[in-house]
Amino acid sequence: MLQFLFNFVREKTVTRKMEINGKDHQKIQNFEDLDLSIQELIESAVQARKLAYCPYSNFAVGAALRTTSGEIIKGCNVENGAHTPSICAERTAIVKAVSEGHTNFEAIAVVAFQEDQFTSPCGVCRQVISEFASKDIKVYISKPVPVRILCTSLYELLPYRFDSSRLKQDS
């Protein structure tokens, strides 16, 4: 059944580039055309999404980080009845990674379901990802059945990020 869906959507989908200010920034690609390591990262996020605790919104999100050492660390969103203590999947994965000694990442995949659009990381998650990205990292955004993938980068999602270089040191 899954192969049927891949074939059906591939026939109906043309890989295209989105243009912002005349430059190619984000690209929608077919899952099967991606490198196997990227497919593995996205599939890990799909699996993480299945563990989401979201009884209030029923909006399950999964994320998977690839560390610079090549390990994949997964996270899911965890909601709370008071809402404010809820945590997004991306931050769950980052906190888990940091607690296991990983502080440098090369890519992240985020998986959620919205009918007509891709679900990108929220602003807080973008800033937290930026804290642990010593360079621009790839961001792959997918739906639970990974057929079409939005391929972008942290710097595209957060072009004016705040980082430690902006802090003034007192002399």
Q: What is the pLDDT of residues 29-78, one digit of tens each?
A: 999 999 999 999 999 999 999 999 999 999 999 999 999 999 999 999 99
**Per-domain residue ranges of the chain:** 36-155
Q: What is the pLDDT of residues 132-154, one digit of tens each?
A: 988 899 999 999 888 999 999 99
Closest by alpha carbon to 141, among 156, 152, 155? 152
26 neighbors 161 (Cβ within 8 angstroms)? no
Rounded-to-integer distance, Cα 60 and Cα 76, Å: 8
Catalytic residue, chosen from 90, 106, 131, 156, is 90
Check residue 167 and give its pLDDT.
78
Superfamily of domain 36-155 in the CATH hierarchy: Cytidine Deaminase, domain 2 (3.40.140.10)
Percent of the chain with pLDDT over 90: 70
Which residues are documented as binding site for Zn(2+)?
Answer: 88, 122, 125
**DSSP letter, residue 110:** E
- 40: annotated active-site residue: no
For 44, counting Cβ atoms within 10 Å of its Cβ (0-12 exposed, 13-18 middle, 19+ buried), the class is buried
- Looking at every residue in the chain, the average pLDDT score rounds to 86
How confident is residue 116, by pLDDT bands cut at 50, 70 and 90? confident
Decide the pairing of beta strands 138-142 and 105-111: parallel
pTM: 0.82
